Amino acid sequence: MSLERRFFIFLLVPVAIMVAAFGFWGFVFARGYLLDQWLISIHLQLEKAAHEISMALNEKLELVNLIARAEHTPDRDITQAFLIQELTEKPGVRFVDIIAPPSRATKERMPQTEDSNGDKLSGTYTMEICGDFGFCAPVMDPNSPDKTLRIIRNLDPENPEGSRKLLVRISFDSFLEPIKKMNFVEGGSAWLVTSTGQFLAVTDKSYADRKRIADNGDPLETTILENIRKKPYGHVFGPGTPPKVVAGFYKIHSVNWYIVLISQGRIMLEPIIQFRFYYTVAGLIALTIILSLIRIVTRSVVTSISEISDAAVRVQEGDYSLKLPEYRRDEIGQLNRSFNQMVQGLKQRDLIEQTFGRYVDKKVAQDLMSSPEALKLGGEKAVVSIMMSDLRNFTVISEQLNPEIVITILNNYFSRMISVIERYRGIIVDFYGDSILVFFNGVDSNITERAYDALWCALEMQDEMEVFVKESVAKGFPELSMGIGINTGEVVIGNIGAKSRAKYGIVGADVNLTDRIQATASPGKVIISETTYELVKDRFAAIREFEVCLKGVMDEKKLYEIDYTSLKR
């Protein structure tokens, strides 16, 4: 099977499946999210509207109760007139009057549906106040065309038959104002209904002639009516996926009314439905583009793989001169760069194998391989940090031990110290008996940072020396100690010797000065020169500063002792 055909099968088909799966999952998730957000939003808005309606009604009831309390006050007429005026000015209040108890003849002559002034009492919903803020069982007149709330209050509860009554009529339309402020979607409607399903007010005029929920046999309205009889709030979904109609309802507890909100699911979910269409179109376009790109890219990939294969054959034959182009920024370009690095590594490995005998330190040889011209005899001047360590009185101690023990101790000692030196990228120049000469340098290195490396390396060597001594003493070997000196100065770095045998090292007066400095170090101490201290004094504080005359040096030198036990990273 060709590479291009494999790309079609193993790339295009999975991508198409993923696009379809993510599209379907995204649509379902977004649809559910929109529905959930709508339900949360509507619940909060219904709760707010119910609270505002309840507050507006309670405000009017407070005035009604104040009018009743003024019935037995000395200035009854004035006070009640003022309060009635206040009540009349409240939104939605259409009629307020105090009705005197009718005589027997008046009762026989006046129809029960008329006020004392002869007006027809056409209120559809009559509620008598029981107590200060409670209602008796309401009475509904389903045949009345005028949908108003009629509130009756006995001004003398102790004499209900012979007391005057306060009559207040409030338009149900006034209760729609908080509902109209709700941000329900276009095409929706809101109802104000009783707990038994009678319509009190509606925002949609197509329901104006309706008397009761579900009187037309609508299944959704039937479900709504069943739910409001059981729960104070909730929602109902109509048929379809997504649902064609979504309804939410909330109870106004003070009057046992319900606010019902009806929204069209299609309009509410219009954004996600549009997204589904555009996603499908975009997905088909994307798959077409991917198909074209696969055809273009596979040809380029096949060509590049052939070039790499040919180059690998040449490398196998020992030709390291080939270099693949690295200008590409894709995986092929990365593969070419990796291939070139591999070839360079093979070339360096061969060079290291050829020149390994010329250098004691393999790490030094590897650094040199990055610059082949450095293999030539000669050197260059550079400022480096030099460290020299020495075991104190080891010559005297070694004369008292068997040669095998001496070699074992030294091998153990050097193994531990070399491990520390390599961690800090120190270059070991040579071993002089039990002494180690190291310098810290590198291509484009920072002199200060390398001075820090040298000092930290010396401190860790002293730490490692403590562990080494404990183990040696436990084995019955004599207790040893080490002194270390560090100096920073200019030296000549290069290849010393002949073409057949050479050593990479350093020479100069500062190398000898470092040897003299370490000679002043007491067992377990680290002594550094003034030049080194100036580089590291912002992080290290000397516990002792002293001047001393060194062998072979004319002037006194200022030296600093660093206590490794008081300084840790």
Q: For the chain, what are the domain ranges?
A: 12-55+184-268, 63-174, 294-351, 362-566
Residues whose CB is less than 8 angstroms from the CB of residue 97 and which lie 6 or more positions away in sequence, other chains included? 84, 115, 116, 117, 166, 167
pLDDT at residue number 474: 92
What's the confidence (pLDDT) of residue 419? 92
Comparing 70 with 270, the larger pLDDT belongs to: 70
Question: What is the distance between the alpha carbons of residues 432 and 438, in angstroms, rounded to a whole number?
Answer: 11
pLDDT, greater one: 564 or 516: 516
Separation between Cα atoms, residue 154 and residue 130, nearest integer Å = 9
Per-residue three-class SS string for 256-297 = CEEEEEEEEHHHHCHHHHHHHHHHHHHHHHHHHHHHHHHHHH
Gap between the Cα atoms of 107 and 490, Å rounded: 128
Do residues 339 and 311 make contact, with C-beta atoms less than 8 angstroms apart? yes
pLDDT of residue 376: 55
Query: What pLDDT, on the 0 to 100 scale, is given for residue 470?
Result: 93
Concatenated DSSP letters for 108-127?
A: HHS-TTB-TTS-B---SEEE
pLDDT at 455 over 90: yes
Domain 294-351 has CATH 1.10.8: yes
CATH 3.30.450 fits 63-174, yes or no: yes
Does residue 118 register a pLDDT over 60?
no
Cis status, amide bond into 372, omega within 30 of 0:
no
Q: Which of 173-187, 326-340, 455-469 has the highest mean pLDDT?
A: 455-469
Classify strands 245-252 and 526-529 as parallel, antiparallel or unpaired: unpaired
Residue 485 reports pLDDT greater than 90: yes
CATH superfamily of 362-566: Nucleotide cyclase, GGDEF domain (3.30.70.1230)
Residue 106 has pLDDT above 50, yes or no: no
Three-class DSSP category at 545: strand
Which DSSP string corresponds to 138-184?
Answer: -EE-TT-SS-EEEEEEES-TTSTTTS-EEEEEEEGGGGHHHHHTS-P
CA atoms of 310 and 313, how far apart (whole Å): 5
Contact 223, 215 (CB under 8 A): no
Quickly count: other Cβ atoms within 10 Å of residue 245's Cβ: 18
Whole-number mean pLDDT of the chain?
78
Return the pLDDT at 112: 43
Query: When comparing pLDDT for 386 and 208, which is higher?
Result: 386
Region class of 182: left (phi > 0), else alpha (psi between -120 and 50), else beta: beta
CA pair distance 465, 431, nearest whole angstrom: 17
Give the span between the Cα atoms of 524 and 465, in whole angstroms: 8
| Second CATH level (architecture) for the domain 12-55+184-268 | 3-Layer(aba) Sandwich (3.40)
Confidence of residue 121 (pLDDT cuts 50, 70, 90): very low
pLDDT in tens, 285-334: 877 777 777 667 666 676 777 777 778 888 777 777 777 777 777 777 77
- Model confidence at 100, pLDDT cuts 50, 70, 90, reads confident
For residue 532, name the pLDDT band (cuts at 50, 70, 90).
Answer: very high
The DSSP symbol for 298 reads H
Of 151, 178, 182, 145, the residue nearest 166 (C-alpha): 151
CA distance 191 to 181: 13
Q: What pLDDT does 498 receive? A: 66
- Cα(236)–Cα(224) distance, rounded to whole angstroms? 7
Confidence (pLDDT) at 530: 93
Q: pLDDT class for 272, splitting at 50, 70, 90?
A: low
Domains 63-174 and 362-566 share a fold: no
pLDDT of residue 502: 63
